[in-house]
Structure formats: structure tokens, C-alpha cells
Amino acid sequence: MVTRMLFRAVIMGPPGSGKGTVSDRIVKNFALKHLSSGDLLRTNVQNKTEIGVVAKSYIDQGQLVPDDVITRLVLQELHKINETNWLLDGFPRTVPQAVALDKAFHINSVIDLNVPFQTIKDRLTARWIHPASGRVYNTEFNPPKVPEVDDLTGEPLVQREDDKPETVTRRLKGYEALTRPVLEYYQGRHWLILGKRFATMGD
């Protein structure tokens, strides 16, 4: 009897580095299931599951969801697709999360989107939206005809809270403090080989 080898990968990178876009390209080319911890968390909060209610209590207070809660949520979902090749996006964010994932599954590859923080700040803070329609503008490569005004309706554009310079800076600092050590964890286990754009991990 031949045992089928499963492929499991993690994609990492700062907020705004393009993990979702890159993940879409990877799963289309390599037939992996893409699992986003952020999407999973939002779905559980919206559906008011047991874990979702607990997570929301922290989110409403402006706190990070604790490691044990988010880990339980993600691992529970991964066990549901136990016989599937997958790409995990947004998890692990901390070393305890990485250790828990490592104990539960054999990870074949870690991809690190090595995008300079200044590039991310420039990209995100240049983004403006029309709330009613969801139209997105970028002051660098897709600017509105009139600054901060929607082309079609003439209504004012807004900048999402997450895209404001002070918020972007805070999120990037949080990533540096919490998630960079995760890359060091993988490097310390000799699993991570840093590339120019990506980091990959061999067996």
C-alpha cells in the first residue's frame, strides 16, 4: 500500500505585502487549498460560534485574540481537511502558534514575502475608497480625477482606518515584534532558506 504524501505550506509577510494575491496564484498553479486565518476568524465571529464569541470579546476590547483561542480555531479547521494539500495564510503569527502547528502537522514549506516596510506604507496609505460602491482608488497609479472625490458620483472618498498612516505604522510594528521571531524560529530549526522575494523550507 502506497501512502500519499501531503504537501502543507505556510505563507508569511507583513500586512499589505500581498499574501492574498500571491496565495491565489500559488493555489491555482499547485492545486492547494488556501486557508486564511483572518477569513476563518471573521466567519466564526459572524456565525457566533463558540470560538467566534470568545474571539469577538477580545476584538471588541481592541485586544489581540489569545494564542490558545486562535490556535484552537485554526487547528480545528485544518483537521477537517486532514487529507488535503493546503496553504495556510495568516497563521502562525507568534512562536507559540508556530510550535503548536509544528506539533500537529508536518510543514513542508514556508514562504516569506520579503517586502520593505516603506513600500507597504506607501502602497496602503495611497488607497482610498468610495464607501457606497466599494470602488478603490490609489493616488499613485489609479488616482481619482479630483482628489478625494469619486469619479462617478462626485461623493467624497474615505481612507479606511487600517490604511491611515498611523494605523499602518502600528500594524507593521506589531508584525515586527510578534511575527519576525516566527521566521527566526523556523531558521533556527534549519527549515527556512531565505530568498530574494520568498523564503522556502525543505524537509
pLDDT at residue 4, as a whole number: 62
β-pairing verdict for 192-194 and 199-201? antiparallel
pLDDT at residue 171, as a whole number: 87
pLDDT at residue 200, as a whole number: 40
CA dist 186 and 40 (Å) reads: 24
**Residue 179 DSSP SS3:** coil
Does 160 qualify as catalytic in the annotation? yes
pLDDT at residue 182, as a whole number: 92
CA dist 195 and 17 (Å) reads: 16
Annotated binding site for GTP: 16-21, 127, 136-137
Asked if residue 55 lies in contact with residue 82, where contact means CB atoms within 8 angstroms, the answer is: no
CA dist 118 and 120 (Å) reads: 5
For 172, what's the count of Cα atoms within 13 Å in the CB-facing half-sphere?
Answer: 20
pLDDT at residue 199, as a whole number: 39
Superfamily of domain 8-201: P-loop containing nucleotide triphosphate hydrolases (3.40.50.300)
Annotated binding site for AMP: 37, 42, 63-65, 90-93, 97, 160, 171
Does 197 qualify as catalytic in the annotation? no
Asked if residue 113 lies in contact with residue 35, where contact means CB atoms within 8 angstroms, the answer is: no
Give the predicted TM-score (pTM) of the model.
0.79
Task: Using alpha carbons, select from 165, 186, 27, 31 the residue that is nearest to residue 101.
Answer: 186
Q: What are phi and psi of 192, to 5 degrees?
A: -105, 125
Does 170 qualify as catalytic in the annotation? no
Annotated binding site: 16-21, 37, 42, 63-65, 90-93, 97, 127, 136-137, 160, 171
Domains in the chain: boundaries:
8-201
Rg (the chain; Cα; Å): 19
CA dist 71 and 95 (Å) reads: 11
**Residue 111 DSSP SS3:** strand
CA dist 33 and 11 (Å) reads: 13
CA dist 52 and 49 (Å) reads: 5
Which residue among the candidates 80, 160, 164, 180 is catalytic per the annotation?
160
pLDDT at residue 29, as a whole number: 87
pLDDT tens sequence across 29-66: 888 999 999 899 999 999 999 999 999 998 888 788 99
Task: Using alpha carbons, select from 179, 155, 152 the residue that is nearest to residue 64.
Answer: 179
The DSSP 8-state label assigned to residue 163 in this structure reads G
Q: What residues of the chain score a pLDDT lower than 70? A: 1-4, 189-203
The DSSP 8-state label assigned to residue 25 in this structure reads H
Which residue among the candidates 8, 56, 135, 171 is catalytic per the annotation?
171
